[in-house]
Amino acid sequence: MSHPDHPLGVDFGGSGIKAAPVDLERGDFAADRERIPTPDPSTPEAVAEVLAELVSSFEGHGPVGVTVPGVVRDGVVSTAANIDDSWIGTDAAAVFGRATGRAVVALNDADAAGLAESRYGAARGQHGLVVVTTLGTGIGSALLHDGVLVPNSELGHVEIDGHDAEQWTANKVREDEDLSWEEWAERLTVYYRTIEGLLSPSMFVVGGGVSKHADKFLPMIGIDTPIIPAVLRNKAGIVGAALHAAGEG
């Protein structure tokens, strides 16, 4: 059973909204995760209603962290990927706070995953600059310097050979074009070399659902920087959101 003061992490995505209280000592769920399908249309009011329902299903009154698939500055959403355009310009933290009656913070979904990997996962204890990338429908990114988040990096949108990088390199592109692991690794090499040349990071961490197949493509990515798979996978968003809510990331 979760402690009433455990922070609650909420992962708001295009298809589902998932929540769980998080034990920050262990970096794991303190109670079973709950999931409700994302409403259609996914307007702020509709999502806030679902969020209130999710939050009320857990005991306690700790702070709440919510991931958003878009750029979030001071709680305000300025881009909307896979969610309703009415989110743009919306103060998500304020809307969710009113709906739940709790202290709520909002952050980009890839940033939340990056925080979790930095604190508990693949990049734990890593000094210098860590670039966490999530390979999925697009490419999400998180920059962490000595464990401190530099938010809203959006490195999936770096232009490479006239392309938005994620339109040529995301996991969805691999699936849609039926690329072999080798063909995809060639594209990923170009992508990661570009980021390597811009930022000279200490490490890349690769997340997203495809990271469970890391042995099929990561060894073929030809870069100088160490590149390793994420370990928290689908827990990372909730854990990172809870960390952020507790003021620890």
- Please write the tens of the pLDDT for every residue from 210-226: 999 999 999 999 999 99
The tens digit of pLDDT for each residue in 149-172 reads 999 999 999 999 999 999 999 999
What percent of the chain shows pLDDT beyond 70?
Answer: 98
Q: Mean pLDDT throughout 189-200?
A: 98
What is the residue-wise DSSP string for 127-180?
-SEEEEEEESSSEEEEEEETTEEE----GGG-EETTEETHHHHSHHHHHHTT--
Q: Kindly report the average pLDDT of the chain as a whole number.
A: 95
**Co-location of 146 and 214 in the same domain:** yes
Do residues 103 and 136 both lie within one domain?
no
Query: Which of 25, 16, 89, 1 shows the shortest CA–CA distance to 242?
Result: 25
**Claim to verify: residue 214 and residue 175 sit in the same structural domain:** yes
Q: What's the pLDDT at 221?
A: 98
Amino acid 81: pLDDT: 77
Domain containing residue 46: 8-111+235-245
Shared-domain flag, residues 67 and 21: yes
For residue 74, the model assigns a pLDDT of 94
Query: Do 242 and 24 contact (CB within 8 A), yes or no?
Result: yes
pTM reported for the whole predicted model: 0.94
Predicted local distance difference test score (pLDDT) of residue 164: 95
Residues 90 and 170 both lie in one domain: no
CATH number, domain containing residue 185: 3.30.420.40
Whether 116 is in a domain gets the answer no
For residues 176-196, give the mean pLDDT: 98
* Residue 2 counted as domain residue: no
Indicate whether 151 and 203 sit together in one domain: yes
**Residue 2 pLDDT level (bands cut at 50, 70, 90):** low
pLDDT tens digits along 47-97: 999 999 999 999 888 999 999 999 999 999 999 877 899 999 999 999 999
Strand duo 163-164 + 159-160: pairing: antiparallel
The domain total for the chain is: 2
